[in-house]
Amino acid sequence: MFDETDFFIIPPFKNEVYIDPTDDCTRSKMKEAIAMVRSQGKEYDLLIGGRHYSTEKRIISTNPADPDEIIGRVSKANKELLNRAMESAYDAFRSWSRLPAHERVRPFLKAAQIMRDKRFELDATMILEEGKSWIEADADLAEAIDFLEFYSREALRYAGPQPVVQIPGEVNELKYIPLGVGVVIPPWNFPSAIMAGMTSAAAISGNCVLLKPASDSPVIAAKFVEILGEAGLPDGVVNFLPGSGSEIGDYLVEHPLTRFISFTGSKEVGLRINELAAKHQEGQKWIKRVVLEMGGKDCVVVDETADIEAASSGAVSSAFGFQGQKCSAGSRIIVVENVYDETVRLIKEKTEALTVGDPTDPDNYMGPVINEAAMTKIMNYIDIGKKEARLVTGGNHIQGKGYFIEPTVFADVPPEARIAQEEIFGPVTAIIKARDFDHAIEIANGTEYGLTGALYSRERDRIERAKAEIHVGNLYFNRKCTGALVGVQPFGGFNMSGTDSKAGGRDYLLLFLQAKSISEKIL
């Protein structure tokens, strides 16, 4: 007996290396790519079953650093087109689900290489559409490539023989088969990595996908779908359906033919999806599977044995990378009182050294927040913080065209304060004083979330205790609480941070598969 993977050998997985924004050649290529993307002014259609559809209603994607600049115009789906996409996806599922895994992974591996070849164009798109710095954009793209590569290898592993106990007189086997057609709803903050990871995980497992990208990042998603087509992905496997969640989101989730929903975004929207998906619809033959990643209120804990210089640098990086617009952002810095004042001083100093401005300039560390509504929400939280705590630095909207906010630090924040409990999703962090290490762990676990956390400590006993007691899905020691690598730190959280789906881990594809046990009596 031959396994299907015997004739399809790929090297072991390794993470993609990032660009160096200080390199002269890199700077030249990126500036050329930014100019090229700016000159495109392209319109993007829906893609259903390999056919392009243009609609009158459009999402206008703009540059948050200069909202007058249009990055692209993207057609919006309606319910009629969603029904057409569902039918097309199920037609494609009949053949796609039966393809051997080594054939399914080929277009995704090819797409990964195309993304490398188009690296600067895709980075430039995120710099302009999202306000990402050069390194944040490239890390986003590198993670997307990693997902394609890692999940390709995982698909081959799951397609291979699975261990079951054999008994005399029978041949027994366990096979993993795909679920059907699902809806993928990614967030805007990692518009390449999470979007591509969610989509590829579902499709590479043999399912077909209706992809509804975030309305703040439809252009980078459209380019990814174009790349899948260029890589030879069959028509109907991934269908591109941009549109506002309020108009089509509920309909996609409630559709009786929707087999699963994969969502990353806010707690409020995630809980609504979970509720809607749980209700049986007429004609629905299954219990819908829901995969949710819903955010966090993440902590960096600093004890009195820590390297305070390294801890303050890690805390600032955790808090303000991509303007704090990460579900893993270090929005709480919990410091034991013995080193509290010195840590606050260093955090203030390092925060005030950060540069804020147009992200097309590689020397700017922070760019704008994503849109006007986000800016208004964040500034409202800053006003709340001024009443709840002591403003250490920042706190202002930077006047000009874009949605720029100063990196903002509050100190002496009560653990129960709103700015210490609610996800702000912006460049705001709250420093909380703990009496001792016991109190610090209590504060760390004192929110409804449980996504990431970090502890800076030189004490081995404390590190071991934190492993057992800090209740988060991703826990780091003596490093920042952001920047999980595919395959290295499988990512997903507890409590209201979601279903702990562990993206980039060995069990992630199981969320899009079901096990079939087969027994044959030997005659």
Q: Mean pLDDT over residues 8-13, rounded?
A: 87
Name the residues annotated as catalytic: 293, 327
Residue 5: pLDDT above 60? no
Question: What pLDDT shows up at residue 8?
Answer: 65
Residue 438: partners with Cβ closer than 8 Å, 6 or more residues away? none
Of 400, 335, 411, the C-alpha closest to 367 is 400
Residue 161: pLDDT above 70? yes
Residue 2: pLDDT above 90? no
Which two structure tokens, joined as six digits, stand for 371? 């849109």
* Separation CA 14–CA 11 (nearest Å): 9
Tokens 């990964």, located at residue: 112
Half-sphere exposure of residue 34, counting CA atoms within 13 Å on the CB side? Answer: 22
For 29, left (φ over 0), alpha (ψ -120 to 50), or beta? alpha
Question: Domain 23-294+501-521 falls in which CATH fold?
Answer: Aldehyde Dehydrogenase; Chain A, domain 1 (3.40.605)
Sort strands 51-53 and 58-63 into parallel, antiparallel or unpaired.
unpaired
Q: Mean pLDDT over residues 10-38, rounded?
A: 97
Q: Which amino acid is at 465?
A: R
Domain boundaries, the chain: 23-294+501-521, 299-485
- Between 246 and 216, where is the model more confident? 216
Give the model confidence (pLDDT) of 38-67 as tens digits: 998 799 999 999 999 999 999 999 999 999
Of 327, 321, 322, the C-alpha closest to 369 is 322
Residue 331: pLDDT above 80? yes
* Helices vs. strands in the chain: H and E counts, helices first: 16, 23
Give the model confidence (pLDDT) of 190-238 as tens digits: 999 999 999 999 999 999 999 999 999 999 999 999 999 999 999 999 9
Q: Mean pLDDT over residues 306-314, rounded?
A: 98
How far does CA 403 lie from the centroid of its chain? 22
pLDDT band at 9 (very low <50, low <70, confident <90, very high): confident
Of 504, 451, 494, 514, the C-alpha closest to 201 is 504
Q: What is the residue-averaged pLDDT of the chain? A: 97
Which two structure tokens, joined as six digits, stand for 77? 């789906």
- Multiple choice CATH, 299-485, 3.40.50.970, 3.40.309.10, 3.30.1370.10, 3.40.50.300: 3.40.309.10
Sort strands 181-185 and 260-264 into parallel, antiparallel or unpaired.
parallel
Give the model confidence (pLDDT) of 249-303 as tens digits: 999 999 999 999 999 999 999 999 999 999 999 999 999 999 999 999 999 999 9
Q: Mean pLDDT over residues 95-118, rounded?
A: 98
* Separation CA 458–CA 152 (nearest Å): 39
* Separation CA 226–CA 224 (nearest Å): 5
- Between 2 and 435, where is the model more confident? 435
